[in-house]
Amino acid sequence: MLIVLVGLPGSGKSTVGRQLARRLGLPFRDSDHDIEARIGCSIREFFEREGEAAFRDIEQEVIRELTQVGPCVLATGGGAVLRPANREQLRRTGCVVYLRSAPEELFRRLRHDSQRPLLQVADPLQRLRALYEERDPLYRETCHYVIETGRPSVSTLVNMVMMQLELAGVLQPRP
């Protein structure tokens, strides 16, 4: 079984994904880490040097490959849903969970993070609001389930995802 996490930067895809994978006894994969291994530098450097279109080409290739590796928990980059091919591939091959966070909540979490290329702007909160406006409909189109992240702990979010998947019959309830 492939469980895919989508959402804006900082919504918890990697952190929740790692713990979810551990709880389920599945491998954890992060598409951004696979991309960095392939390009041999940080996404930020590649973005600055080659541009977003070149990055999205590699991202599409990596996502296609990762959806074929077998059962795992896959955290995607925040912009993975921008390409229709990625949305279709993720939805068709995995059980997609959207970790939905309000832009203000993300800003609170990310305000000191200098590693996210899309947030290196004069007004990061406004940038997050614009990203949310653009991407929320795409996340909703791609996902099977929406989990509101709010401010619970990571373990609470993992429990929320597991409960949703159990209620949906995707996972067998654990004793």
Question: Which segments are annotated as binding site for ATP?
Answer: 10-15, 116
Q: Which residues are annotated as part of the binding site for substrate? A: 32, 56, 78, 135
Query: Nearest Cα to 68, choosing from 15, 31, 20, 19?
Result: 31
Full strand arrangement of the beta sheet holding 145-148: 28-30, 72-75, 2-6, 95-100, 145-148
| Angle, CA of 146, 175 and 20, to the nearest 5° | 40
Q: Which residues are annotated as part of the binding site? A: 10-15, 32, 56, 78, 116, 135
H-helix segments, 10-102: 13-24, 31-39, 43-50, 52-66, 84-93
Q: Which residues are annotated as part of the binding site for Mg(2+)? A: 14
